[in-house]
Amino acid sequence: MSTKKKAEEHEITNPFDEMIKRLDVAAKIMKLDEEVYQIVKKPSRMVYCSLPIKLDNGKTQVFEGYRVIHSTALGPSKGGIRYSLDVNEDEVMALAAWMAFKCAIADIPYGGAKGGINCDPRHMSKGELERLTRAYTGAMADIFGVDKDIPAPDMNTGPQEMAWIVDEFSKITGGFTPGIVTGKPLHLGGSLGRVEATGRV
């Protein structure tokens, strides 16, 4: 496939552009103030990190990590962390925006955020995933916080990754901080029914 065709397909399916298109429609219906629109359409903070991880074979691979905070207007930002080869800046920006809009519509006192690491967890060992998760937590230690930004599981992450985040963040900050994430194991203060809740209406 030519580079031009790939670029055209990316442009068509760019998730952030698609989010903006839908926001434009909603803004017109709502007659949203132009100044508010300009604030709402852009993320308030974007963080990129480079994560060199030693693999089980002794080689070092550098992974790309992201955290986007779309808004904290209603409260601390909240949103999952996904591990996927599809993770990129545009995807994470779009998902952070949708999270902010969902919280606002549901009248929940949280802002929207999203994070991710470009990796293929299906071909990584548990040890490699742990080292990657801990490195990401270290890179985002100044971003995360119970009153700042609260991660959660998303695609290809779950209670185990959240437990590693709690442990690493607690080591870095010098105090046990289970509230830094949701979706953690029950023995760390996780909630019963959390997995099922995301599919309920």
Indicate which residues carry an active-site annotation.
114
Residue count of the chain, please give it: 201
151 close to 178: Cβ distance less than 8 angstroms:
no
Coarse DSSP helix, strand, coil percentages of the chain, rounded to the nearest 5 percent: 45, 20, 30
For 29, half-sphere exposure in the C-beta direction (CA atoms, 13 angstrom radius) is: 6
- In our burial notation (b when 16+ CB lie closer than 10 A, e otherwise), range 120-131 reads ebeebeeebbbb
| Amino acid occupying residue 127 | G
Give the pairing type, strands 111-118 and 60-71. antiparallel
- In our burial notation (b when 16+ CB lie closer than 10 A, e otherwise), range 171-193 reads eeeeeebbebbbbbeeeeebeee
Identify the CA nearest to 128 among candidates 115, 119, 138: 119
Q: What is the largest CA-CA distance in the chain?
A: 57
